[in-house]
Structure formats: C-alpha cells, structure tokens
Amino acid sequence: MTTAELIYQSIASLANPTELAWIEEKREADAKGLALAFVMVPRKVSKTPIQKDLGLLTGWNWQHGTVDQLVRVYFLLQLADKQEGKSQIETLFDTAEMNELVALYRALPALIKPEIWLHRATDAVRSNMGPVFDAIAFGNPYPKTYFSELAWNQLVLKCIFNDKPIHLIEGLDERANQALADTLADFAQERWSAGRRVPSQVWRLIREFDTKSKKQDLERLAASPDPNDQIAAQLVLNYSPLEAWKVLEKEETAY
C-alpha cells in the first residue's frame, strides 16, 4: 500500500461523510484543480487535532497535526503524480500563507523524489515563522535523511538557541557530530558567562565526543545545585542509553 493510500485510510477514519465526499471529488481533479483544492481545504475540512500516531512513515509524527493538514498533504501527494505537479507545488511554496507552508513542509518526506525539495526544506530552517520552522524540525524525518551536516547543525542550534524541545527532532542522536559538539561546548560557556543555564538535553549531543572543555563542563554540571544538571552529568559519564535521557524531557516546553 502506498503512503497516499495509507493517508487516505487515516483521513477516512477522521473525517465526517461530508468532508470525505468533498475530498474524494477533488482528488480526481487535474494539477490546477488539486492545487486549488489544497488552498480550499480549511473551508471544507475541520482543524480537529490528531491524537494518535498514524504509523505512516518512520519518524513522521502526526500527533501534533490536524485533520485539515493531513488532507492538504494527501492532495500534495496526488498533485506530485501529475505531469505539472512539481511546478504547481513550487508555485504553492511561493504563494503560500503560513498554514499552507506548514502543510507543504510536513509533506516533504512523503513526496516523490523528496531530495529535490532540499532547497525548500533548508529555507524553512531560516524561517522566522515558528509553526513553519516547527513543521520541518519536529516529527519530520526529512532533515535526518537529506540535510547536510551543516544544515543539520543549523537546525539543531536554532532549536537550542530558541529554547525549543530538541528531543522532538527525528534523528537527533544518530546525526550528532563533532562539529556540533564543539559549537555546543562554546554555547555552554557563553550561557554560563551570561548567568543562564544550559538545557540539560544539550549534553546528550556531546556525550560521545571530546571537546576542549568537556572535563570542566562535567565537573560544573555535577556540582550544580540543579538536579537536572547533576543527572545530565551522570548520564554523560555513563554513556547511558538514550531512553535514560527521557527523565529530562519534562523540563523542555512542548511545541
């Protein structure tokens, strides 16, 4: 079963009969009709939150999505199959308002030849619109699979600098690297110098790499009056399994 078929099954279980009839009508349209349907979705489909894992693609988390977003993604997959699909999707990117951009970025890992949209995905990392950035950063396997090390590090660092919950980034630990560890060690020094604490989850990205200040950083964490810092120090020293870091997730805000 294709991803589009799996998405339709999920939509069928979430949408009401009137919504589903409209979706079934519009999915038969040509490329221009599908692009128009993508724009029209919020007028025809509810914004009901999706409360469960849909199991569509590994790492593609829809538990913070809505039914109208899922329908938009479904139309994008139908559109991508059309001869003019790529040009129509490019036009949607160029003209989209924020909620449309969220759906476009959420759709990237499921589109045909996802790698051709890399330039769009990296644009989202630079976005000043929080929901747009979150759409590529959280619950989305696209960056893990297609981002260069530099682009990946920029995404992670932007999350950290803005106090976003990095544990929601797919592939966070698999894509950890020395360059990121070195930057985060410097970041920790800057934060401490400014009298600010370092999010405990940052240290999981340093745990397997040597940095010039690692010994002193761990000593400082271990001596911290904050119990989360003490736990982080112990986890780094133990090279603890990633499940162990979940004890610190509660200190990070949900996106």
Q: What is the pLDDT of residues 175-199, one digit of tens each?
A: 999 999 999 999 999 999 999 988 8
CA–CA separation, 16 vs 155, rounded Å?
37
Query: Is the confidence at residue 253, as pLDDT, over 60?
Result: no
- Using 50, 70 and 90 to split pLDDT, how confident is the model at 241? low
Q: What is the pLDDT of residues 1-48, one digit of tens each?
A: 789 999 999 999 999 999 999 999 999 999 999 999 999 999 999 999
Contact 240, 231 (CB under 8 A): no
Structure tokens at 106: 């959420």
113 and 82 Cβ atoms separated by less than 8 Å: no
Note whether 243 and 194 are within 8 A (CB).
no
pLDDT band, very low/low/confident/very high, at 208 (cuts 50, 70, 90): confident
User: Is residue 255 very low, low, confident or very high in pLDDT (cuts 50, 70, 90)?
Assistant: very low
Tokens representing residue 131 in the block: 């929901």
**Averaged pLDDT for residues 126-135:** 95
Residues 122-137: what's their mean pLDDT? 95
φ, ψ at 124 (rounded to 5°) = -65, -35
Average pLDDT, the chain: 91
Model confidence, pTM: 0.89
DSSP per position, 22-61: HHHHHTTS-HHHHHHHHHHHHHHS--PBP-S---SSTT--
CA 254 to each of CA 63, 99, 185, 197: distance values in angstroms, whole numbers, following the listed order:
12, 19, 25, 19
Beta bridge partners of 66: 49
Q: pLDDT digit string (tens) for 42-71?
A: 999 999 999 878 888 888 998 879 999 999
pLDDT in tens, 67-90: 999 999 999 999 999 988 899 999
Percent of the chain at pLDDT exceeding 70 = 94
Please report, for the chain, the start and end positions of each structural domain, with discontinuous segments joined by +: 1-117, 177-255
Q: Check pLDDT > 50 for residue 254.
A: no
What distances in angstroms separate CA 29 from CA 32, 82, 100, one per listed residue?
8, 10, 19
pLDDT at position 250 is 60
